[in-house]
Amino acid sequence: MSSLNRLIVVLLFDGVDLLDVTGPPEVFALLRRETGSAQSYHVVLAAETMEAVTTSAGVRILPDLTFADAAARSIDTLMVPGSVEVDGLDRVHAVTDPAVVHWVKELAGRSRRIASVCVGAHLLAAAGLLDGKRATTHWSTAQQLAADHPAVEVDADPIFIRDQDVWTGAGITACLDLSLALVAEDFGEAVALRVARQLVMYLKRPSGQSQFSVPIEPVSTTRRMDDLRHYITGNITGRLSVTDLAEHAHVSERQLTRIFKTELGMTPAAYIESARVEVARNQLESTDDTLERVASACGFNTPDTLIRAFRRKLNTTPTEYRSRFRHTRHP
């Protein structure tokens, strides 16, 4: 397929998340600059009409063509951003306008591949494009996606997932990782990494990379839970057994487990492992320490324990993680 035929259509509709729309085209624009040739994409924004569309940020964007016009073309990649609303209880819900869903289904039939950005996965699911497929979305709406579409295998952890010709991305900035993965598929890993450097993304994250890290876990609702989390962080190389934590919090071991389950949705052991993986990630990104030193610094003690934890939490190894995420030092 000629590079001039690589038409990327990004959907526009009222309330769409602004970064979902603007992030991927920025990646694709840098591709042309990096390659210095016509080998690139032609990105257009499509909407119901040619009127300006108001995004969730209040910024108004003009489309390049209508959905109907786009349906008359051969589309290389259809990119579907998302939109959310917040109810009176501060709960986030993905929005699926039936009119937009109709055009998603229509345009998907004209596309070589389809990619959703963030909660755009809900639009793909509503159009029946994710049935029988594994998909991800922003963690805040993953439960909604699973409940509304039981035929979809929802995995809220990876930053993006590819299942045949359908790609789904996780929240917000993961749209850059997804876009880089599309570039890598079309033009190779070396080109994608050059684009990543221009974006000051030190490297391109693998799809198995978790969209979670310990600092952004849900904020606890009690001072006691906050104290426990700070205690774990401050004693990350210690034993940190359930008994130790229960004694620190002045509760029984059973009550401690209940507190973690209720407020963080995980066991104390799972949280401690996540905290240690987070420390290990920082070490691998910013130092040249051996795996033995990294394991010791984060409380895993042995490289084997560190490796097993990385496979469980991030679906990768410490060595692969470092090769992709090690910060480049400049003189």
CB 34 within 8 A of CB 10: no
Cα 280–chain centre separation: 20
- HSE, CB side, 13 Å, CA atoms: give it for residue 91: 8
Which entry of 30, 114, 118, 170 is annotated as an active-site residue? 118
CA distance 205 to 148: 29
Catalytic site includes residue 298:
no
Q: How far apart are CA 260 and CA 272, in angstroms?
A: 11
Active site residues: 118
